[in-house]
Structure 1
Amino acid sequence: MPTFEKKLLDLSQISVIITDDSKVTAKQLLEQSAALRSGCSELKSKSVAVVYTDTISFVTALVAFDGFCGALYLCSHESIKSIPKDVCHWPINSKTDCSKSTVTSQNDGLSLPIKTKWYLASSGTSGMPKWFSHGFSDLIRQTRISATLQNLCWGSLYEPHRFAGLQVTLQALLSGASLVVTEKTNVIDRVSVYAQQNVSAISATPSMWRQLLMTNQLHSLSLSHISLGGEIADQGIIDALSHYFPIANIRHIYASTEAGVGFVVSDKKAGFPQSWLQEGVNGAELQVDGNQHLRIKPQGRLDKSLVNRIDENGFLDTEDRVELVKGRVLFLGRASGIINVGGNKVHPEKVESVLLSVEGVLQVRVYAKANSVLGALVEAEITINPSLDWSVLVKKIRSQCKLKLQRFEIPVKLRQVTRMEINSSGKLSRSNINV
């Protein structure tokens, strides 16, 4: 049975985590994790909450406790409030003193590694976070290893306690690559750090990529690998990144905290090929049901808490609505995010895609405004190129809406804003929808 520690030991190339003030190799991670584990025998087979404070300490704990503890809850200071009461808290931090511990591997004087469940929390945007379990084998199912990938230097934009951040961390470390982590929160400062460290691969949500594009600093990077996930990757953002990095491998990843990584699309087109509904992809089977919901039967095990969303054939209702257009399956948005305008269903993401197709529009957030007659109306906040005239651009936006949208989908109000709020999971904040 593979464990995080065993996979790191198997590396032929030394992985490295680079932070603002330190550098740690895979060998050092293994030594530190063994020392940490040897000093906490009381946690063997227990459920443990590992709270994120910094990347190196967090990853050290994951390596130490996978195969040793019964379950790991990957927490932020916020999500720890929602874990079961019987879970032990482990306050890992960079000042943890393991110097007096005896370094041991998991099998020195201990039983064989146990199968640890890894619990990751949903974003909690619609209430308290929900926890979903994964096996380590399922988490690394899509991890790719090659000589080319060993030479990459990944820039981390996600915290590793989240599913997307964990995927980037595992991909970097288990392929023998480097991972650059910075505590800087300003987007321009982050790009500067990535340029200094020669980052060649970045994974981010479409909203985060739009923020990076707005800095006008991406020309300082030489990216060969680009990943998008967490939100709909529309053709506009894919084309924009292709323009900046014409020879880069650009992939958009369909994944969720509850189901894990479903599939990866690498043909630089929005959505995915309709043929995958018949053929499947990477061991996963796909269907579209009568409600236009995408259903997926992944290769790995699904959390038992999802039983109400799994049909008799083992397909999970993703609750993402899709449409079939010219041989592609295009994403419309979450079923739970639909705006009801007088009985007509409006997908905010569809309207956003149309508005983003107007040259000069940089970022858009579409939301519902309560209305006593129709139930709700569609409104939009828009960030534009500061060199453009708002009144002129509004006319172009209105014209595009009339061409591409039905009347009930067209925003009744357009509001210019200087920036969009991105939540802690890297997605466009929709916390005040239906206001």
Structure 2
Amino acid sequence: MARRMAVVAGLLAARAQEQPEEPAFIGGADGRTIAWPALAAYAERLRELAAARRLPPGARIGLVVADPLAFAAAYLAGLSAGLTVVPVDPRLPTLDDFLIQLRADVVVTDAPLSSPVAGLENWVAERAAPVPVGAAPTGARPSAGAALRPAVLLTTSGTTGEPKGVPLSEAQLLHAARRVAGHHRFGPGQRGYSALPLFHVNAQVMGLLAALVSGASLVLDRRFEPDAYWSRVAQWSPTWLNTVPAILGPLAAQPPPPEATLARLRFARSASAPLPVATQDAFTAHTGVAVLNTYGMTEAAGQITANPFDISARRAGSVGLPVGVELAVAGPDGRPAPPGSQGMVVLRGRQVTDRYLELTGYGAEASRPARDAHGWLPTGDLGFRDEDGFVYLAGRADDVINRGGEKLHPQEVEHVLLGHPAVASAAVVAAPHERLGQVPVAFVMLRPHRAEAGLVDELDRLCAQRLPRHKCPAAITVTAELPTSPTGKVLRRALRADAAALAGGPVAGGGR
């Protein structure tokens, strides 16, 4: 099988020639840099290594790399070599099982594994190139029976159910990255700052690939550190911030940055999870930084919609307009819903995947269609469009709570709870009820130095004032933390067992 000539390889070579002295990526915590020529050389060495180890085109390399610069180099090099890059959360407790499910042939780490994964090649991502540890395994490679050989194989977040494999081609990834770079006006001289996990599509496309296609640079941190955030911004002078609501909320509670820190900053981009208007307003009022709210998903190679670049044209509560993808809101009959009418958000376009992979890890690998006969992919998100086409999301279809025949969306209840000054974050899930079928149960986290005494009663009254009775939580409990994905999405499935226990016993909260 001939190895495909990756477009990424040509882009790396072009950047190395056009911007030989400029850093491509910078380590926010330690100041290490990697320039475009070094990235191009790294990619060439990985291509040579793949050929020497007889890896076929599309062989799967699992990136289990916590160091952001090492990840960036290995990710772009893997694409450049025509391999299938499989980014993996390095904190997974069952790493072996996950790599087996994804049929990885090679595991790349930034430190030698204490116990190498049996049957896989093990490489260590050194600064100049990956270095194999031990001899290559004999016999058939795990990906020998792969149903698909994409450029990148990602998994959905699994916030409401089991994750699925999402294959994305190089063309889809670069199409999305170019739309992102164009919409946000990236280019040489522009610099982003991102503390988002690099194994997630947002950080890969919005960050690494958007920098590659535009010639911008990117400051990378391996984790969000509230106390150090603004000092890093002051040190590296980015022109934009890549954030999620779980970052914007805590930053609104930090001391505001000095004006000099914000001198070059154009916007903070929010994605990956719903952004409550209260969180957006609090962040901007506290820091003076405008937020550009967006919407994306793994199946669309990241960004789907974004608010306009012009601040005056942005709409509070909206995730903006489609960018490089066709979007519709389908009513109950499957036809496009009129403006203002809620339905299922569906997508189609070049960057939208057309297959899912079943992550079983056993037997022949299976895939299934992701789109319908007309090319539309149902997102699972409910929402509507206004007369001008702006998109507003109501929540996930499988999160809808049916309380005695009256339906409600958790997001609208959460927004009310977040309106209380003591509440830092909130999540509402369904709990089973003998008579009503389901009732909403709320979990809230407090802002620092806020008292819990009397809060549940205050939240009860707030909900009673602003919501119809059937939407008021049957129980409200204060919790030290909410289970979240690495990008800050609440894992509702992890809360449902707790919700059932709360609703089944003595509970606080109105609307019972």
What is the TM-score with the length of structure 1 in the denominator? 0.83
Moved more, 340-349 or 33-42: 340-349
State the 1:318 CA deviation. Answer: 0.9
1:252: which partner in 2? 293
CA distance in 1, matches of 2:128, 2:445: 51
Q: Indicate conservation of the 8 Å contact 1:121/1:129, yes or no.
A: yes
Q: 1:342 to 1:218 in 2, by over 3 A?
A: farther
Deviation at 1:320, TM superposition (A): 0.6
What is the rounded CA distance, in whole Å, between the counterparts of 1:419 and 1:304 in structure 2? 35
The equivalent residue for 1:52 is 64
8 A Cα contact 1:380 1:415, kept in partner:
yes
Determine if the alignment matches structure 1 residue 180 to structure 2 residue 197: no
Greater mean alpha carbon deviation, residues 214-223 or residues 8-17: 214-223
Q: What root-mean-square deviation, in Å, do the aligned CA atoms of Structure 1 and Structure 2 show?
A: 3.3
In 1, the alpha carbon distance for the partners of 2:97 and 2:193 equals: 29
Q: Which whole-Å deviations, capped at 9, do the CAs of 1:272-322 have from their partners, x for residues lacking one? A: 57xx6xxx6534232332272111223435232396553332221111111
Distance of aligned partners of 1:309 and 1:65 in 2 relative to their CA distance in 1, 3 Å threshold: closer
Gaps of 5+ in 1: 102-114
Q: 1:386 to 1:218 in 2, by over 3 A?
A: same
AA partner of residue 172 (structure 1)? A
Please state how far the C-alpha of 1:68 moved relative to its aligned partner: 2.8
Deviation at 1:363, TM superposition (A): 1.7
- Taking the aligned partners of 2:269 and 2:406, their CA distance within structure 1 comes to 34
Does the 8 Å CA contact 1:340/1:376 hold for their aligned counterparts? yes
Aligned partner of 2:377: which letter? Answer: L
Q: How does 1:26-425 map to 2 (within 5 A)?
A: 26-41=36-51, 42-53=54-65, 54-77=67-90, 78=92, 81-82=97-98, 84=101, 86-93=103-110, 96=125, 117-126=151-160, 128-141=162-175, 142-144=179-181, 149-167=187-205, 168-183=207-222, 186-218=225-257, 221-222=261-262, 223-246=265-288, 248=290, 250-260=291-301, 261-266=303-308, 267-271=314-318, 282-290=324-332, 292-305=343-356, 310-323=371-384, 329-386=391-448, 390=452, 394=456, 396-425=458-487
Aligned match of 2:491 = 429
Aligned 8 A contact 1:43 1:69 in 2: no
* Matches of 2:160 and 2:482, distance apart in 1: 19
In the aligned structure 2, how far is the partner of 1:100 from the partner of 1:385? 44
- The DSSP-based 3-state class of the residue aligned with 2:494 is coil
1:18 matches 2:26: yes
* 2:488 counterpart letter in structure 1: G
Residue pair 2:401, 2:408 contacting (<8 A) in 1 also: yes
Q: Say if 1:69 and 1:116, in contact at 8 Å, map to a contact too.
A: no
How many residues of Structure 1 are paired with residues of Structure 2 in the alignment? 416
Q: Distance in 1 between matches of 2:368 and 2:109?
A: 34
Q: Which residue of 1 aligns with 2:10?
A: 6
Is residue 157–residue 203 contact of structure 1 (8 Å, CA) maintained in 2? yes
- What is the CA distance between 1:154 and its match in structure 2? 1.9
1: CA distance, partners of 2:486 / 2:410: 20
Matches of 2:330 and 2:471, distance apart in 1: 24
Per-residue deviation, residues 318-375 of structure 1 (Å, max 9, x unmatched): 1111146786542111111223323332321111011112344322122333433333
For normalisation by structure 2, the TM-score amounts to 0.71
- Residues of 2 paired with 1:62 and 1:362: CA distance? 35
Question: Quick one: structure 1 residues 384 and 218, their matched pair in 2 at CA, closer, same or farther if it must change by over 3 Å?
Answer: farther
Amino acid at match of 1:8: L
Query: Could you tell me how far 1:4 is from its partner in structure 2?
Result: 2.0
CA separation in 1, counterparts of 2:158 and 2:447?
A: 32
Percent identity (aligned): 20
Q: Bigger CA drift: 61-70 or 155-164?
A: 61-70
Partner SS state of residue 180, structure 1: strand
Q: Does the 8 Å contact 1:144/1:171 carry over to 2?
A: yes
